[in-house]
Amino acid sequence: MTCPVFPPGFDFTDPELYTDRLPLAEFAELRRTAPVWWNEQPHGLAGFGDDGYWVVTRHADVKEVSTRPDVFSANAKGTIIRFGPDMQPENLEGLKHLLINIDPPEHTRLRQIVQRGFTPRAINALKAALTGRAERIVAEAKTKGSGDFVVDVACELPLQAIAELIGVPQEDRGKIFEWSNRMLAYDDPEYVDRPEVGRQASAELLGYAMGLAEERKACPMPDIVTKLVHASEEGSLSSDEFGFFVLVLAVAGNETTRNAITHGMHAFLKNPEQWELYKATRPDTAADEIVRYSTPVMSFQRTATRDTVLGGQEIKAGQRVGMFYGSANFDPDVFADPEAFDITRAPNPHLGFGGGGPHFCLGANLARLEINLMFEAIADAMPDISLLAEPRRLRSSWINGIKEMRVSYDGTAPAG
């Protein structure tokens, strides 16, 4: 197998590589020449004390890693390939309590319990409230004429959806929004010298959620917290387990969906024929194409529990294996014309929600619902929306994030 020629020190976890968009040319080179490639990080850059990790780029191989949890552990070294400069072993220990970092059989037990909140029926029950919410968000943004799409439009629905789902009282939602936003900015220059900002926000959110669980234990309400903390056939969550679950939701369900909505809008504005098509036909296939094309979560890692072989490459026990969804979602072996944004693409077996194993995105149906509701509201109320400036992106090699995107909601240039 030929080795790709990348300059010494080249690192797929370097946020600089993701400043404009996904590094599709580099991924294509790897898929062609070394689909499971050892990326050296000789200085233990990622904080794991090892000297590198495997970069997995082909759709088939990412699926294989996802669906073999006995060989590829989510728990051993967690699921994030590279943390910010504040990464310390004790942080990793704390993160091991999160659903996404737990292996079967413990994961199976927890997942069976929390899944009760995410049945098609439970998600459908949110539809009326979220439809009204999406329409109000868009109507309010429209009154401004122009503004930052991320703040005015994309931010709120994902947070409201989580708050609605777990039954956070209206008066506490501002706090939840603030903690969630602060927790996620670990890789950003505005926070990079102040890692305590994110840690403190997580601790506050955790404390709040544990308190909510205690309250519902004492005084049941018709909401999901009550359902999860009270015993049933599948078991129940302790207050601590519930707290960690809310932390996962705040990270997993918030920034991801917000970015899918912003990237989706950007893709529509860059592909006006797709926006015309969307407005005319509103195809069900649009949400999945938005997730494939934008890949809001660009990677997760696993750790080999024993020596194994992946895509013809030998992997040693204890080595980390990075699944690059941003590459798998553009694999020409699976997707015709992968770089085209095509909202009618079907089938669309993208891995934007994961590769189908035990950790497959719990909120995938909720995310699809939110994306659909948001674009329906935008198409109805602001069909002429236009881009005023190229987006400003989050500095991260994990979340494909947009921090700011100036748009005109009615398609006219702002005065002055």
Residue ranges in contact with ligand HEM by CB under 6 A: 66, 99-100, 111, 162, 248-249, 252-253, 256-257, 260, 291, 296-297, 300, 352-355, 357, 359-363, 366-367
Tokens encoding 355: 């590769």
Question: At closest approach, how far in Å is the CB of 176 from ligand HEM?
Answer: 13
Nearest to ligand HEM of 102, 385 (CB atom):
102
Question: At closest approach, how far in Å is the CB of 401 from ligand HEM?
Answer: 11
Bridge partner list, 313: 310
Nearest to ligand HEM of 118, 409 (CB atom):
118
Question: At closest approach, how far in Å is the CB of 410 from ligand HEM?
Answer: 27
How many helices (H) and strands (E) in the chain?
A: 17, 12
Question: At closest approach, how far in Å is the CB of 303 from ligand HEM?
Answer: 13
Under a CB-based contact definition with an 8 Å cutoff, are residues 408 and 385 in contact?
Answer: yes
What is the Cα 268 distance to its own chain's centre? 20
Where on the phi/psi map is residue 313: left (φ > 0), alpha (ψ -120 to 50), or beta?
Answer: beta
Nearest to ligand HEM of 52, 355 (CB atom):
355
Question: At closest approach, how far in Å is the CB of 275 from ligand HEM?
Answer: 19
User: Secondary structure of the chain: what % helix, strand, coil (to 5)?
Assistant: 50, 10, 40
Nearest to ligand HEM of 34, 95 (CB atom):
95
CA distance 239 to 251: 19
Residue in 344, 326, 338, 327 with CA at minimum distance from that of residue 276: 344
Residue in 220, 171, 207, 144 with CA at minimum distance from that of residue 407: 144
CA distance 46 to 87: 8
Question: At closest approach, how far in Å is the CB of 165 from ligand HEM?
Answer: 6
- DSSP conformation letters of 333-367: TTSSSTTS--TT--S----TT-SSSTTS-TTHHHH
Nearest to ligand HEM of 338, 363 (CB atom):
363
Phi first, then psi, for residue 314 (nearest 5°) are -75, 135
Nearest to ligand HEM of 56, 361 (CB atom):
361
Place of tokens 């909601």: 409
Nearest to ligand HEM of 69, 198 (CB atom):
69
Question: At closest approach, how far in Å is the CB of 396 from ligand HEM?
Answer: 14
Nearest to ligand HEM of 87, 162 (CB atom):
162
Nearest to ligand HEM of 225, 260 (CB atom):
260
Nearest to ligand HEM of 146, 227 (CB atom):
227
Residue in 3, 21, 11 with CA at minimum distance from that of residue 390: 21
Report DSSP state, residue 297: B
Amino acid 268 reads F
Q: What length does the chain have?
A: 416
- Chain residue whose CB lies nearest ligand HEM: 363
Question: At closest approach, how far in Å is the CB of 262 from ligand HEM?
Answer: 11
CA distance 294 to 255: 13
Question: At closest approach, how far in Å is the CB of 118 from ligand HEM?
Answer: 7
Question: At closest approach, how far in Å is the CB of 157 from ligand HEM?
Answer: 10
Strands 386-387 and 406-408: antiparallel
Question: At closest approach, how far in Å is the CB of 154 from ligand HEM?
Answer: 11
Under a CB-based contact definition with an 8 Å cutoff, are residues 398 and 82 in contact?
Answer: yes
CA distance 366 to 310: 33
Nearest to ligand HEM of 6, 360 (CB atom):
360
How many of the other CB atoms lie within 10 Å of CB of 21?
11
Place of tokens 């494909």: 400
